Amino acid sequence: MKSHQTAQTMKPATAAKKLGVYLPATPAEFQEGVVSRAELNELQANPPQWLQDLRQNGPHPRPVVAARLGVSIAGLARGGVTEALTTEQIEALRQDKPEWLEKERATQAEVRKESARIKEMKQGQ
C-alpha cells in the first residue's frame, strides 16, 4: 500500500488546466515535469513572470477564450474557433462582432436565464 504522506502530483496538462493556461505555451520544463500540489499552490499564490504573461496575453485555452467572449465552448466550435487565441485576437473578435459571436452570446444569455429560472423554481418548492 502507498503511504498517505506521499505528495500528490499531477500531469502538466492537469496543472495547466487548473492554472487556466494553454499547455503548449508554457515553458518546456513545466511541460516535461510533474507538478506537486504544493508547487501548484505556489504557482497560484506567487505566479512567475511566464505565468503572469500567459494569463494576460495568452494564448489562452478554449475555456478561457469562451469565458472572455461570453459564449460556450461548443459555441466557439460552431463559430470556427478551435485553437487557442491571444488576448489581442479575443479583443479583435469583440470589436468585429462577427454574426456567429452575437448569435452565440444571445444563446448563452438564454441558457443562463433558463438556468436561473429553473434554480428559482427548485428553491420555491
Supply the pTM of this predicted model.
Answer: 0.78
pLDDT, average across residues 101-119: 91
pLDDT digits (tens, 9 = 90+) for 16-36: 999 999 999 999 999 998 999
* Per-residue model confidence as pLDDT tens digits over 76-98: 999 999 999 999 999 999 999 99
Task: Give the separation between CA 89 and CA 51, rounded to whole angstroms.
Answer: 19
- Cα(11)–Cα(39) distance, integer angstroms: 12
Query: pLDDT (tens digit, 9 = 90+) per residue, 31-47?
Result: 998 999 999 999 999 99
What is the reported pLDDT for 7?
59
